[in-house]
Structure formats: structure tokens, C-alpha cells
Amino acid sequence: MTDIAIKTALLSVSDKTGLVELGQALAAHDIKLISTGGTAKLLRDAGLAVTDISDFTGFPEMMDGRVKTLHPKVHGGLLAVRNNPEHVAAMKAHDISAIDLVVVNLYPFRETVAKGAGRQEVIENIDIGGPSMVRSAAKNHDHVTIVTDPKDYPNLISELADNGGATTLDSRRRFAAKAYAATAQYDAAISAWFAADLKEDLPELLTVPLKKASALRYGENPHQKAALYIPTLPNLPEWPIVNGIAQAEQIQGKALSYNNYGDADAALDLISEFRDAAPTVVILKHANPCGVASGDSLIEAYKAALACDSVSAFGGIIAVNRPLDGATAEAITSIFTEVVVAPAADEAAKAIFAKKKNLRLLITGALPDPKRNGLNLRSIAGGILLQSRDGSLLDEQALQVVTEVKPSEQQMKDALFAWTVAKHVKSNAIVYARDNATVGIGAGQMNRLESARIAAWKAEDAAKRAGWPESRTRGSAVASDAFFPFADGLVTATEAGATTVIQPGGSIRDQEVIDAANKAGIAMIFTGTRHFRH
């Protein structure tokens, strides 16, 4: 028989949500209640009969509550295999009673860290007895039911009602699996806190606890499975908790897909670079920006960003750094757009978007800090690659002008704008910019020369569509995310009309590239920092 009747339950919880209702349901089945500290008091105050853990074990709580459930009568009652004669004999010899149900949730370690508690208070909120009981009960799930989440109380109550005060093996297995996941996440949070306390950016052993937030229809393609998970680490300086796309409020539109999440995150990452800038709009497609612009208003910025590559913008993702207004929303809805990301939106904008039932509007609140710390993880066959987040911002004092021609104030502004965007373009990346707007973007090519050519070609195509007399790369600044290994990429940029180049420098052929820039009569700036993005 796989159903186990619950006769004795041990309850010891930090989160008291639903506790009284659970206790009442257990008492209705004549289940003996054993409890500790505040849990026992709350149950007793509700009129329920409760046996204190010290009376059950015959041993007092001590050391400020550090030792109360760590006792053979508790763990023997949990771990004993009820149909094993030797175990039964040991229980009888040592006066150990079976415990059939354990309801435990753990000390609020993450919450203690999050409130900025001192080290000693954090240490005191590392639960020892709780995880020990959870693991003992979960190991012996053939005979013992373990519940760690108040959200599961209704399921437990229903099961007891349906089975005459018993639980099924299937439910005990599911509860046990969840219990081990809970203790694993708890220990991972403690481990992460210790790593941060010891200033270990990349610790020898790293466990990243994740919680499933939602199932997705499919992954990148319909034959792939996908889900959204969010980290449950405490808020640490090395790995700060950030409210991003995963926490954004979806105002309207159909559910986000796997690809939507990836693209929206890339758009948020880029627009955050401009969170303190003039009104700025990012248009992004397949994780690459296809238009970025700043202006006196969002509508002005949107039009300039769209002009960079209106073809690629179709079905794209848009992010803005200001509360979205009606005029900009009206312009956005003039072409098919998948997702719009904004810190806020006024009622006029919401009303306009409401007419496009499939368009998703995500409200993020304050944009993330672009220079925040963090970790990037990427799976490979047989392992995981982990690196610190590229949160570096350009130090303008460290810029080195390496050409005879020096950039004007406007050329420097254009160069810095292009450089900011290039950081978020897949390598090899080339970005032309002029007057606070991108005018040509080349992304993800196998060589830098082709990226420069594609970006220039796109700019020429945009000029034809707009009816401009010439490409807006004329008089632009061009940014390269890594050094030009040969002069040919720079020559292509100058032929497209760029008058300023910004790049990291550091190639063994730097002088060849500098000579080409001097020959062309343009300015070139070295940043000393590379921004590959694969």
C-alpha cells in the first residue's frame, strides 16, 4: 500500500502564511501536532493542542534556539523505514515515535541579506535544523510527507480530505523533489553570500539557484522547449538583483516568446546606456540595434532612429528612455512592432497601443544602471562559460587622438554616440553616427571590412528611401568595437564619408591604420577598450 496515514506532524516555519488553517485541517483528522517556538505559540493561540518539541524529545531548546530539533527522536522518527524490522526495533528500544508529516520553511536568509543586516545577523539566519529535517523527511518520502512551501498547503489539505487523512506516494515524491530543490537553493544563496563576503568574483564552486517564472510556448524554434527562470540569489554587490525584462509589467499583448525576451533584454541593455541622456529611442532586431537616436523629444528620436534602417525595423523591438507619450505611440504603431519597452507610459499611449492587440507593452520602471556589476552565463557542450558583465563606461579622459587631424567638438560627440551603440552590436561591429543618431550599422560579420561595407550600403539605401541627396555617412563618425587589423576597413569608412574614427587600437598594424587616416585627412581616436559581443 502506497498511501500513508498521517498520525503525527511536526511543524516549524519561519513564514507563518496559512499556518493556522493548515493546523486546523490537520487537527480535524486527529493528527498530533508537534511544534517549535513561534510556530507552536501561533497554533496554540488559535486553540489547537500542540506538543512542544522539547517535551517530545525530552531535551530542552538551547544555545538561543540553535539546538532544538537536532535530536535522535526527531531524525529517528523521520528516517526510520517503517517496514524494516531492524529500524522498528531500534525505534522501540530508544522510545522513538514515527513522524509522518513535516511542514518546514527556513529562516529568511535572503531577506536578511536584502535588508542590509550585519554579518552576525546574517550568520544567525542560516538555518541548520530546518534543512536537516527537510532532507531527512524527503529522503524517507516512501513513509514521510514533507511540505516546504505555504502555496502547497491547499494541495495537502485536499489530499488528506480525499484520502481519509493519508497522502499518496506520488504526492510525497513531488513534495520531496520540491523540498530538495528548496534546500539546494537555500544553500546556493548562502554559498553566494560567502563568496561575496570573501570578495570572490569567480568562486571555485558556483551554484546559481533559479526559479521557474513561466513556461514559454517554445524556444528559438517551435521544436525547442523553453521557460523563463529568475535567479533567487540574495542581493549582493557582486551580483546585484536588477529589475529588468523578467520583472517588467506587461500592460498588453500576447505572451512573450523566447526570442522576444532575448531581444527585449538586449534593447533594455542598450537604452540603459542613455538613461540620463536626452530622449532616446532604440530599435532592435534579432538582438542587434538597427537604429538609435536621441532628440529633443521621443517622437523626434523615434523618427531619426527609424530612418537609419526602416526595413529592418519591421517586426522589431523598441525601447525608450522616457515615459512613452501618445504622439510617439502613434508613430510606433504605423509599422508592425513586436514589443515596446519603456520606463512608463501615459494614458494616451496605452490607449493607442490597445488598438494593436498583439503588440506587447512592457513597463520597467527605472532603467537599470549600465555600469552595474553582474555575471553573464553561456552554455557550451560539456560546460558553462561565465564572465563578468561588460559594464565599463568610456573614460573620456583616457581617449587618445592618434592622428594629425583633431576631432571637433561635434565630431567627438558623434564618435562617442557611435561608440556607445557599437558596444551593443554583435561583433564584428561597425556603427556610423551623425547628429546623435545612427546612420549605418554593420553587425555580426566574419570580418570587419564586410561590416564596414554593409553599414555603408545600408546608409545609402536609407538615403534613397528617404529621398536625401546623399548618404548620411557623409560627415559621420564611425565606431569599431575592436581594432582595425588592416587599413582596408578604415579606407572603406572614409570612402563612405566618415570624417572621424573611434576604435580601441592595439593592433600590431596600428601605425598602418593611423597612416591611412592621416592620408585621408580624418581624425582617429583610440579608446583602449574592446567591446566584443558574440
Could you list the active site residues? 139, 286
CA distances from 444 to 223, 269, 459, 528 (A): 25, 18, 17, 21
Torsion of CA 110, 271, 415, 372, to 10 degrees: 0
Lookup result for grid cell 535530536: 71
Q: For every residue of 480-514, which 3-state class applies, written as one string?
A: ECCCCCCHHHHHHHHHCCCCEEEECCCCCCHHHHH
The span from the CA of 58 to the CA of 46, in Å, is: 25
The span from the CA of 475 to the CA of 453, in Å, is: 16
- Identify residue 44 by its one-letter amino acid code: R
**DSSP string computed for 155-186:** HHHHHHHHTTSEE-HHHHHHHHHHHHHHHHHH
C-alpha cell of 384? 558553462
CA distances from 36 to 41, 105, 394, 428, 471 (A): 8, 12, 56, 61, 76
Helix, strand, coil percentages in the chain from 3-state DSSP, rounded to 5: 40, 20, 40
**Tally of CB atoms within 10 A around 1:** 6
Omega of the bond prior to 436 within 30 degrees of 0, cis?
no
Residues 6+ apart with CB under 8 A from 435: 304, 414
Q: Is 302 helix (H, G, I), strand (E, B) or coil?
A: helix
Residues 6+ apart with CB under 8 A from 372: 240, 242, 389, 391
Lookup result for grid cell 526570442: 259
Angle, CA of 416, 420 and 421, to the nearest 5° = 120
Q: Is 67 helix (H, G, I), strand (E, B) or coil?
A: strand
Lookup result for grid cell 560579420: 445
The span from the CA of 363 to the CA of 72, in Å, is: 53
Lookup result for grid cell 512592457: 362
